[in-house]
Amino acid sequence: MDNKKLQELVEEISITFFQRPFRHQAYFNPRLRSTGGRYLLSNHNIEINKRYFELFGEKELIGIIKHELCHYHLHLEGKGYQHRDADFKYLLKEVGAPRFCTPLPDSKKRKASKRILVYICGDCSQVYKRKRAINTAKYVCGKCRGKLIKVKELTEG
């Protein structure tokens, strides 16, 4: 499927399920990694992750398009278009759009291998385990204000 066919599919789904035309651009964005699609508030375009179509087929693609069209039509109408809004949740149910897309197989691998950084206070030996690196020149021990030292980096999974 190319961008032209995607555009036609989005326009068709918009008329069929929303009874409103889609008057902007829909295209595949190869840079999308962790999401199936994205509605751009600035120019009202819709970007789709082509990998979802390649891995899961047209049914998943249609679900992603419906989801993004919910954002699109609600935003243009001035209603609640965000995931937390009641208008958005209601319209998702109305058109049979998924709230979330199926996770990509490689995203599970990335989440499984978590790194843990271990820091220790040089004065009181308090241990700190963190997922993100700490700037040891800027931050000190919360217990005694001593200097933090990076001890090791563990990877789980």
Residue 39's pLDDT band, with cuts at 50, 70 and 90, is very high
From the list 8, 12, 60, 68, the catalytic residue is 68
Domain ranges of the chain: 3-108, 113-156
Average pLDDT score over the chain: 91
In the residue annotation, 68 being an active-site residue is answered as yes
Residue at 54: amino acid letter: E
pLDDT score recorded for residue 153 = 85
Min mean pLDDT across 29-33, 66-70, 103-107, 144-148 is at 103-107
For 38, the enclosing helix (H) or strand (E) is: strand 37-39
**Fold assignment, 3-108:** Zincin-like (3.30.2010)
DSSP 101: P
CA distance 71 to 64: 11
- Taking only the tens place, the pLDDT of each residue in 75-85 is 999 999 999 99
- Taking only the tens place, the pLDDT of each residue in 99-153 is 988 888 875 555 555 889 999 999 999 999 999 999 999 999 999 999 999 998 8
Residue 91's pLDDT band, with cuts at 50, 70 and 90, is very high
